Structures are given as structure tokens and as C-alpha cells.
Structure 1
């Protein structure tokens, strides 16, 4: 299955040191731009800067800016500087569309944002109409993939991949009856339904209940009652950390003693804060790589901390890689023309990222670098199982 993560990161760092050298083959070769444009090349990033998921926004923005600054420090792309423009999507569809239109009018060449799938989905036609390639670092609903849009590329694992990892871990843990709980958003319901389908087909743990909750509530006692009435020994929450923390706390208060697992949208220290330390301890999560679980990334983490005086968090490494990939594609295209950049992204083969050497599938998803299992220990998520 290729190189270890340590060697991949070492290759990525080595590649970064060589990007300004060579014969026009690297990311930062300073070659000419066939499009004839002048001034900075602008990348756009839609992230939650307000609303219940706002805690994730700074991680992604800071990491993207770190990549921009590093690239500019080595000469930029096609002899031009990169510039990052950020807009708030609040994990809300209407806000996201307004933000996307704003970024289009500001002349971005590639979109490198997207956290909540429900907010990212309605921006696809906005960027598509403007022929702006989208490198999506976090949002991963299968609905993003199933539209088969040429300008959309995901560098996080998909909903199908996450559901597969969830089922594998439930089976490994000896679960017999599973409650799948979602919030009716595209991302959350997609994972829950796909997990249910896999469980029903596998002949292993059975689905005790598929329960939908209303987001942004404070009392989930009716949902808790429905779940506990089915007597599951495993609960999988596929929504975000705000509701997830409350559901975990209320499950434990109601006497539930079984295992709890959350999806990648709930991976935040805020989950443990909301649930309460004792209630959150031992909670599992399906998640792609995080800074804490990346072997060999100490220098990158130190650079982030030095620049922002804070630790990187979930999706910071994916946001960092999204900018690097955008710069690589523009360089290979020799232009910021949307069609040429899309063709360059489709041709990527082995570009070093934190998730491993990148090669897109025909659906513009990761061919390798899927999900792992995290567990809450002392209020923080730590690696439990790499599922290799």
C-alpha cells in the first residue's frame, strides 16, 4: 500500500525545499503564465467563522495562510504571489451562497474551502458557473461526489469511506445492536444511512434505530428515550460537536453504559467540554488524519504554533494541503484558466500530502488515505486504531 506516513511527510518537506529549483517542473519554479495575468493569484476559502461550528474556522484559515506564506516566501507561483481571501459560510446554505458569490466577484481562481457539506453543496453551481475549480478539504458528503461535477475535487475521505470505517470498528468492538443518530443535514444523514445499509448487508451488528434530531436544540430527551427503548450497545452520532456533546451527556445521564462513536464533524475538544469530561471519556470517532495523529509532522506543527501562537486543530492539515495542491495545479497548468487547472488536478499522480501520495479517482476523490479511529482521552482525541 505504498510508503509509511513518516516517509510521505518527509517527501513532502523535501519537495517543498526543492520547489524553487529545477527546470520549471516544480511548484514554485517562477515560470511564465500563459494567461498573461498580472498581480497576485487569489485563492478563496469558505469556512465557518460564525455559528455553532465557528471553532473550526480558525484552524483552516490559519493553516491555509501558512501554506500561502511559505509558497510566497519561495517565490510564489508562476512568478506571482498567492493571496488568500476568506468568507464566512456559517455552515448555512444561504450564507455560503452569498459568500461564494462574493469570492467570485473578488476574482478568485481556485476555491480551497468547504467544511459543512450542507453549506458546500449549494456553492457548487456558483463556482461551476464561474469555471472555478474547487479543492474541498473537509466537506465529504457523498452527495458532493454523486453530482459528478468536473470542477469538484475532495481531499477528505468520502461519506462512503467513513461509513465503511464505522462499520468495521463496530464489528471489531463486538457490537450487536447499533443506534444511528443524525441531524438531517446532507452530511450527517448521508453517513448514517450509508452505515445502516452496510450493517444490513454485512450480517453483523444490526441497526436498532435510525434516529433524527433537530439541530441547535438544548434538550434531546425525547430522542434519548427513543434510542434507549431499543436497547443498543453502540451509538453512532454522525452530526456536529455542538449537538453531539449534548447527546452524549444526556445519554450518560439517562443511564446508557454502552459505546459511543461520533463522525468527523464532531471531532473537536469542544465535544468533550460540552459533554463533560467523564461522559466524553472513551468516546470513539471516525476521522481522517489530524495534527495530533500525524507521525513526523513535528516541524510543521511547530511552524504553525510559532506563527499563530496556537495549536493546529481538525482540518488544518487538509486546509494546508488544499492550498499546496492548488498551487501545484496552477503551476502544472501554466495558467489560472479553470479548464487547464482542472485538467492538471485530474493528472495529479503522487503529489505528497499529509494523507499520502495523491492520485484522484475518476470521481475526484482520494484513492488512498481513508479513515482512522480516534478516542477521547483526558478530554482530547487521540489515535486508537489506524484501521490498516
Structure 2
């Protein structure tokens, strides 16, 4: 009973893993023309269910909106990402509401600032729960998202996490948690494959001791030490939010790396790139997905950032067949979509789909509907969650900075 919003065609956004349409509930063919998919799909979910109940088992007010909570960084060092995520989520909400909403009710997006800080995020999550949110569709920094899991879990609020992807989120084994971004382990696999392809022999892996960053760095170090990998892996931890990493740069340079992989966020990443280049390092530098932002290039400087690689899932710039969606985003918000816009847009669409299938906002029923999803079209392709509530394939690509912007370098992952 779902179709794609008119401005988007996620079914054509990824040209792989296509399968035929054979009937309701089966995997849709991804080779259909854009116009056909736009007409045949969408999120017009009104009328998909009855008997709406609130968390206390009482009949819900069908005239009240279905509230989606969204924790994103709107202040602090990662604040540049927040608007990309919030705007894309709002675009999806507006498109769904224009088609009648879900079960005859309007969606309402309720964003809160988590500042990528655990304490701020926990307080914001409690605020959302107290206000009566039905589903959470946020989460960018893993370290800030982790402490919100029990907050939403206790309230039986399903979480669809569009960006945060530390393996620690998966290892919590929380039934209400679903990740629609590739995991840290999947990112590590992509990074090691690319380093090996590039013939790296002495890799410096640097992190900031946060859950997300350290998780990727430690696992990368282990994988690099496996037979057939580089001869040596150097692990170096930095202190987040510093203004000078000269001591760390000197320490790493003394070990003569031929490849550097930074697994933290763009604020520190930009400084490290600039300082490594100033120190005379001329080898390849790669960053993890938390650093994929125009801000990284701005902080590092265009010349020093040129050629920097990145492990990253799909971005608006690498999406295929999504021109209408990007145009709709820019028309509404006056700027281009950025990192995690597409995942945030899909998080809202997926929440709407699950609520429609569940026939209401009861948390347990929505969770069961999410677990039963099979073939729901997202920008990353048809969705079917693993038993761990992750994507079957991480979808990581290798990007590189070309002419002052991130562009696709290698689709090997």
C-alpha cells in the first residue's frame, strides 16, 4: 500500500540488486521507468489499518498527529550535519502529509538538539518521550545515540537510526533499534579492502576515543594485521575538540606511515589533514564517514584536502536517478542536500510504512512491522533487515576530494 513520494525515486537510486515485480508484498522491479515507479509507488498509507491504540492501550485520538522524534546535532562541532538531516526528514513528512498522511493522520516531525553529546542526547531523548513521540528517526553521533537506546526502549519507542553506525549499537541487541546505515564493521571491511588495493604497508589508524571512532579504528587495526594485509598498523588516539594536534602528528610521522586513516569527525579531521601536510606528509589520507562534510575541506584547506579519500555510504552526490528529489530539496530549503540527507528522508518513509503496516502506533506492533519489511524501496535499494536489525550490505563506497568536493572514487565496497 505504499508508493514513493513524487519528488523521489529511491528504486532507481541504486542500479544493483534488481528483481522483478510479481505481486503485492514482493520485491519491486528496479528497472521500471521513473514515471512508472512514481505513479505506482508513494506513501499514501491512509486507510491501511484501524483500531489505533495509544501506549496505555486506550483508543487514540485519530485527529492528533503521529509524532516522529529526531535527535540531531544542532550545536557543537558537528552542527553542520543537523540541517541536512532535519530538512530531508521534513521533506518526507511534507510529501507524506500531502498524500493524506498515514492512516488518515498527519505526521509531525519533532527535532531536538543532541549536540553529539551523551548527556545532552539523554536529556533530549527524555524530553521527546515525555512529549509523546511514537517513533524516533534520528541519531548521528554513535556516542550520543548509545545512551538514548534505553530511554526509548523503556518507553517502547521504535528507533530507526539513519546515520549512527557504531558496531556497539548493534551489539546492544535491542529489539527496538534498527540501523539503515552501514555498520562500523562493514565500514572497516571497505577501508581495509581499499588500503590493500592501494598497496599500503605501514598504516596509521587514528581515532578520538569516542565509541564510533575507536570502534572502527580498533577493528581496522586488527584486520590490517591479518595475513595478506599491511605489514604494520599504528594506532594513535587524539583528544577531541583540541585546536592543535602537533604532538600526535609528530608521533605518527616518526613511525613513517605510508597511509593514514582518520576514523573520527570532520572538525578534528580537517585539522589533522592540514597539519600532516604542513609536516611534510605526502602519502594518502583517508577519513571515515563522520568526516564526509564540506566542512572538512573548509577546515583542512582546499589544497591540502585535495585527493583525500573517504569510506562512505551513499551521499546525494553519488545517488543515481534522484535528480527530482534533489531538486525538490533545494527548492524547499534553498540549498543542496548533504551527507545523511537521503538516509534521513528514508528513515521517515520507513517509519510511515511500518506504522501503516502495524495499523497504528503501538510500539510492539511497529517493531514487528519493521522486522517483517521485505523489499521496501530506499535509496540504498530494497530493504530487508538482518536478524541484528542492520542492512544486509553496508553499501560503503570510496570517495575522494576532487576540485573541492567529495566525489565517487571507487565502488569496490
Q: TM-score range by the shorter chain?
A: over 0.9
Q: Give unmatched runs, 5+ long, in structure 1.
A: 21-25
Q: Deviations over 1:102-125 (max 9, x none)?
A: 110111100000000000000000
Aligned to 2:375, the other structure's residue is in SS state strand
Cα distance between partner residues in 1 of 2:358 and 2:391: 21
Deviates more, 1:30-39 or 1:242-251: 30-39
> 2 CA distance for matches of 1:199 and 1:126?
37
Q: Is the contact between residue 224 and residue 250 of structure 1 (CA under 8 Å) also seen in structure 2?
A: yes
Matching residue of 1:23: none
Closer, same or farther in 2 for the Cα pair 1:385/1:100, shift >3 Å? same
**Cα deviation code 1:171-206 (max 9, x no counterpart):** 111111100000000000000011111111243113
- The answer to whether 1:123 aligns with 2:148 is yes
State whether residues 27 and 328 of structure 1, in contact with CA within 8 Å, keep that contact through their aligned partners in structure 2: no
From 350, 357, 377, give the equivalent of 1:332: 357
Structure 1 residue aligned with 2:129: 104
Q: Does structure 1 residue 30 correspond to structure 2 residue 55?
A: no
What is the distance in 1 between the residues matched to 2:39 and 2:223? Answer: 44
Report what 1:382 is aligned to: 407
CA distance in 1 between counterparts of 2:373 and 2:340 reads 21
Moved >3 Å (runs of 4+) = 7-20
Counterpart of 1:78 (choices 98, 103, 106) is: 103
- CA spacing shift, 1:13–1:150, aligned 2, 3 Å: farther
Aligned to 2:216: 191
Q: Does 1:58 align with 2:80?
A: no
* 1:193-212 matches, cutoff 5 A: 193-212=218-237
Inter-partner Cα distance in structure 2 for 1:265 and 1:63: 18
Q: Distance in 2 between matches of 1:387 and 1:285?
A: 13
Alpha-carbon distance, 1:32 to partner: 3.8
Which runs of 5 or more residues in structure 2 are unaligned? 1-15, 20-28, 53-58
Residue 34 of structure 1: CA displacement? 1.8
Q: Tell me by how many angstroms 1:27 deviates.
A: 5.0
Per-residue CA shift, 1:343-364, capped at 9, x if unaligned? Answer: 0000011100001110100000
Partner of 1:3: 18
Which residue is equivalent to 1:235? 260
Cα distance in 1 for residues equivalent to 2:35 and 2:139: 25
Match of 2:369 among 319, 323, 344: 344
> Partners of 1:208 and 1:369 in 2: how far apart?
24
Q: Does 1:40 align with 2:55?
A: no
SS at match of 1:46: strand
Q: Deviations over 1:253-279 (max 9, x none)?
A: 000011000000000011011111111
Mean Cα deviation higher: 361-370 or 251-260? 361-370
Structure 1: distance between partners of 2:194 and 2:253:
21
Distance 1:94 1:152, change over 3 A: same
Q: Structure 2 CA distance, aligned partners of 1:232 and 1:47?
A: 35
TM-superposed deviation, 1:14: 5.3
Query: Which residue of 134, 138, 141 maps to 2:163?
Result: 138
Contact 2:70 2:110 in 1 (8 A): yes
Cα distance in 2 for partners of 1:206, 1:318 equals 37
SS of the residue corresponding to residue 310 of structure 2 reads: strand
1:67 corresponds to: 92
What TM-score, normalized to structure 1?
Answer: 0.95
Q: Deviations over 1:295-354 (max 9, x none)?
A: 111000000000001100000000000000000000111110000000000001110000
RMSD between aligned alpha carbons? Answer: 1.7
Query: What SS is found at the alignment partner of 1:68?
Result: helix
- How far apart, CA to CA, are the structure 1 residues paired with 2:361 and 2:116? 28
Aligned to 2:203: 178
Measured after TM superposition, the shift of residue 8 of structure 1 is: 4.3
The change in CA–CA distance for 1:384 and 1:148 in structure 2 (over 3 A counts) is same
Cα displacement (A) at 1:3: 2.0
Q: Tell me: CA distance 1:340–1:27, structure 2 relative to 1, closer, same or farther (3 Å).
A: farther
Structure with greater helix share of residues:
1
Q: Does the CA contact (< 8 Å) of 2:145 and 2:164 recur in 1?
A: yes
Among residues 363, 379, 387, which one is paired with 1:362 in the alignment? 387
Q: TM-score, normalised by structure 2?
A: 0.89
Looking at structure 2, the residues matched to 270 and 108 of structure 1 have their Cα atoms a distance apart, in angstroms, of 32
Q: Residue 225 of structure 2: SS of its match in structure 1?
A: helix
